[in-house]
Amino acid sequence: MTCLECSKQLDPSEEKASMEVLGVQLCHAHKKRMARLMESHGTPKEAVQLYYGLKEAGVTAMLEWWDGTKSIDIAISRVKLNIEIDTEYHMLTHEQAINDLEEAMHSFRNGFTTIRIPHVLIKYYLKETVNNILGIMEGLRVHIKAIN
Which positions touch Zn ion (CB under 5 A)? Answer: 3, 5-6, 8, 27, 30
Between residues 3 and 38, which has the closer beta carbon with respect to Zn ion?
3
Between residues 6 and 98, which has the closer beta carbon with respect to Zn ion?
6
Residue 96 beta carbon to Zn ion: minimum distance, rounded to whole angstroms: 36
- In angstroms, the Cα distances linking 17 to 28, 120, 124, 139 are 9, 21, 21, 38
For 31, counting Cβ atoms within 10 Å of its Cβ (0-12 exposed, 13-18 middle, 19+ buried), the class is buried
Residue 102 beta carbon to Zn ion: minimum distance, rounded to whole angstroms: 39
Between residues 29 and 98, which has the closer beta carbon with respect to Zn ion?
29
d(CA 116, CA 89): 11
Residue 52 beta carbon to Zn ion: minimum distance, rounded to whole angstroms: 12
Establish how many alpha carbons lie within 13 A of residue 13's alpha carbon, considering only the half-sphere containing its beta carbon. 0
